[in-house]
Amino acid sequence: MFNIATTASMRGSQAPEADTAPQPTAVLSGRIIAVVVVFIALQATNSATVSIMSLFVTDRMGLDVAWAGVALGVAAGLEIPALLLIGKLSGRVPVTRLLLSGCLAGVAYYAAMAFAAGPVLLLGLQILNASFFAVVAGVGLTLFQDMIPRPGLAAGLYANTHRLGAVASGPLIGVGSTTALGYGGVYLGCAVITVAAFAVLRMVPAGHSEGVRDRPD
């Protein structure tokens, strides 16, 4: 009888804690779902354009395939200082504002690439490409962790946007390459998608933790 009474009292004392625990269904709010969809779209545009770069350079621009590797290498090299700059700005500028500026760079890059001609413009536009991808990669996880109080769930959702974006890039390439612009149509489609992502981000309300973080003196 003593064991039964002790067990009952322990269950009674633990019940309020269960009521105050965060509910799993409350985590995935409409705002979080919207941001997840936006990141899937942005990751899809990046995956699509990287995948077709060699075909775009040879078929659309009439250049040697080696220029595709040069362009991607330049973009990768420029991403390093871009990520360092974003790391410094993230403590002073709200995360959403950084992401919006990155989307603008992405729109400019994709729209210009759709009609680009010549290796000089190809390489010069990689500055915008590096800026766009650095923002998506640099502030993406931070934004997800700001929105979601569970670090594991936040990191998992962000990682899966890259995988789902790679899957979604297939139809984007298929539809875009059938237009009159050929592979340039893929870039133009990516520009349209990035504009839509920008518009959604503008409509999504800012979270309580997305303001400028306090920096130590």
Provide the greatest CA pair distance for the chain.
87
What pLDDT score was predicted for residue 5? 45
pLDDT of residue 215: 45
Is 214 inside a domain boundary?
no
Question: Which residues constitute the domain of residue 49?
Answer: 29-203
Residue 3 domain-assigned (yes or no)? no
Give the position of tokens 């959702």: 157
Domain contains 9: no
Q: How many domains does the chain contain in total?
A: 1
What pLDDT score was predicted for residue 10?
43
Give the closest residue to 112 by CA, choosing from 153, 171, 71.
Answer: 71
User: For position 134, what pLDDT does the model report?
Assistant: 92
Q: What is the pLDDT of residue 27?
A: 53
| CB contact set of 132 (below 8 Å; sequence gap of 6+) | 46, 102, 103, 105, 106, 109
pLDDT for residue 180: 86
Phi (first) and psi of residue 37, to 5 degrees: -60, -40
Neighbouring C-beta atoms of residue 128, cutoff 10 Å:
22
Helix residue spans in 115-183 (DSSP H): 119-124, 126-147, 151-176
Which domain CATH number covers 157?
Answer: 1.20.1250.20
Is 147 within the bounds of a domain?
Answer: yes
C-alpha distances out from residue 181 to 52, 56, 116, Å: 14, 10, 11
Instruction: Report residue 87 as tokens.
Output: 């790391």
b/e string for 75-95 if b means 16 or more Cβ within 10 A? beebbeebbeebeebbeeebb
Inside any domain, residue 11: no
The per-residue pLDDT for 207 is: 56
In the prediction, which pLDDT does 152 show? 86
What pLDDT was estimated at residue 113? 95
Please name the amino acid found at residue 189. Answer: G
The answer to whether 135 touches 83, Cβ cutoff 8 Å, is no
What per-residue confidence (pLDDT) applies to 208? 47
**What pLDDT shows up at residue 9?**
46
On whether residue 216 sits in a domain, the answer given is no
pLDDT at res. 28: 61
Would you say residue 171 lies in a domain?
Answer: yes
Q: Is residue 127 part of a domain?
A: yes
Task: Give mean pLDDT in consecutive 10-residue pieces for the chain, a chain of 217 residues.
Answer: 44 45 55 92 95 93 93 94 88 88 96 93 95 90 86 89 94 90 93 96 67 44
For position 11, what pLDDT does the model report? 47
Task: Compute how many other C-beta atoms are within 10 angstroms of the C-beta atom of residue 62.
Answer: 9
